Chains A and B, each alone.
Chain A
């Protein structure tokens, strides 16, 4: 008798603009000797060379939910396909959803927040975006989809780095960081990235929200590695990618993206949960169309637990994570990544939730 009860199946979403190398990465994942079986949900069924037993063609049907919110969309085809795949539990270990180059990752992610049955059987692991080092800077200027995919990413595979100069690479990385300073960035040629860096990331797992710190250009392999440490305990609290025009910082260029930014907030004073929760819910209800991703680690007054939350547009999930450790700095930290974020409104609202 087959195993009938099993854990939730991890689902990795693979995005990236046309020609960035999604299929190359997908084939690497499938062909590597890892002993795991993947079910792959692709668009353009039959048109790309993917060698895998379980390939399902998808139509990328984005459905609006009947709750009056236009940003509240799900991938109807994914609901159906995941339901069908669950009949074959035990035949695969994980699912990879490859989206078209023009797709918005939000409806895919929201499917995992909205649909009860999807939630019961599968969990979103991470959004992995493959970017073309040579063309991304141009696409960020003329293709809103490309910007969305960078902003939404948990992991960015910056591919084709062999086709650009060091200066061009620094430029494109700075442009990525202007939009999303929090994603893990890996520089690759032909998508040569360790699979552990793109799979089983647990990026949407509340238990794995450990810290919220911007990532800098530390992932280099032979590229200029600068030595300012943005690990724990740094004391300069600037918000990268936001409210900075191009300037030099540790020898690196920083950009301000015109319409997509990240905004980070922090305080070492405890937050008032009775004020914070309604504020956050009200904020995403009102401004959720602009907020692509949000994440937070929170310290509430009269609460010894760390509270963590994350969200996609208007959808939030949060939970007590664990006790604050002795000696751990009880600092609250939030980040929003979005389009034309109302910065002052968010900052003022956040300030009003701090206990005095």
Chain B
């Protein structure tokens, strides 16, 4: 049977012999005899088939060695098959012995015994050493990129998996796996370092990914699935964990580079691999945050005009006359461009990172947090962020500039809101937005009411009703004013057809950003009449109200006659009109000094200078300045420019004023915002205390901070000052414990608190 010549034997006969032997208590004779025969056969097979294939240790050529190994493994497998085939037959014949004798004698069944004998006589040094080194050799060969006969290895591994000491681990688990893992560890440690030196980051990642795949395939195909886990751990420990930062920081190919070039696949691979190790995500979060902040800082840097491009340096170096005159508007425009560019850059950066985040990082929540943190950090580091964003919105909502459709604008604004969300001090934005909105509304520059209201709705959604209340009030004023204007026209009918036609917008003083609540001005006759007429009409409808004219915010269309009865319709500021009217009755060569004009119109020097500049020093020179020059000085004189000509009939004389704030204006805005904040903090303290009646100091501070956080981050010291003020005015009292406050509810009037 062991020699595979069982065909000549009768199964029934032999089975019966076996049966009889056991039946007549000769089981041990049969059992032991069989065992001896098996051993003899095994030894014969080893000597005949296996020994000649022993790999010679001296061979250094890897291919040859691998081939030798393969032959050896195949021989071993064949020996195994021989052995098990014979054993199977023996098992069938000796079925009765297995059932009866082995149980009572306490020995393994013949099949198991056969395997044990194989283990004992084959799997021992030097053969076992040969086996393991041959298998490892094969794997190494494959890892080095050569093709091996996987089934030969697989055959052997299967043998080793089936063999085990009674109740012990399989030979595979006991001998092969530890050796294999150790070998892998060494291999991959070296591999990691080698790759790191020779590869770019994307290459490295690809290689590592391939290694993961191939090792998985290996364990799957010809090793045991149980090896998969420890092997993967080795890969992680050697290829990833120690090299995370090194990979990301690789010059010219690391994380930054991948982001620069939008290498989504590489980034996705990086994310996937990094996620395998616990430190990976943390490292990636840190790196991506740093990268983003660095980019943000660059954007911030480029938005501040550097010292040497300061527009006012041009004054000295630039050519005289015309060149100079153009320099200033350019500078203002340049600052505006920088502001818009800043927002656009931030938007682009946001798009870029959002894209990467979605496509490569599978919208990972933790990474989103880091990205948001980074955006918040650098956006708020730009102290003009609020103004810039408001300018950007302004730019998009102004008509006739972009030629964008409503839908396009809506998309841009939606994105802008994303950035807006990162702002810490939203109240500062509010104050700028109000200013810009007022200009759009008053000058009728809004692209559409729908777009404005759309933006308002977005802001409302972000910050709540309170935030947009005043803005909504402005829209309402516009609407009511239009209605009132209509009623006014009906009221006066055609009576005043010859006079000056006026259009009045009544602005509720608390809604609109009015810099000077009671400005000084002297209207010319031509304005006094209609203004008074309207005022009477308005007050007759709304008694008890007070109307104050704000000429600084208005504009006028005026038809002006120049030489040869040429007419132009000029659109000027109300101040501009007031100045032009002064020249109406003058002769051709008459002058008015700055002083005379100032006396006549009685407006602030800053306003007058700006007005005169726009009339005499800008593109359209309606007035002549003596001496000519770019700046208006108090000792200048002016005359009407009768020779003025321009191709267009209608001309807009825009006031020279930069849309971006100057340093002084910034300070003013800041003071305004600070004042507003004081009210808000007080109101917030009172709201909380009215609700709670009694509160411990620190809780109150925290609650106020929390409630105001959507508008700005109040300084605890400021809150404390407000608390002190409220105690002083008896709205609060300090309790006995000196650490908490009571709400003084017996006060009926909180009228001075907004």
- Interaction A to B: no
B-contacting residues of A (Cβ < 8 Å)? Answer: none
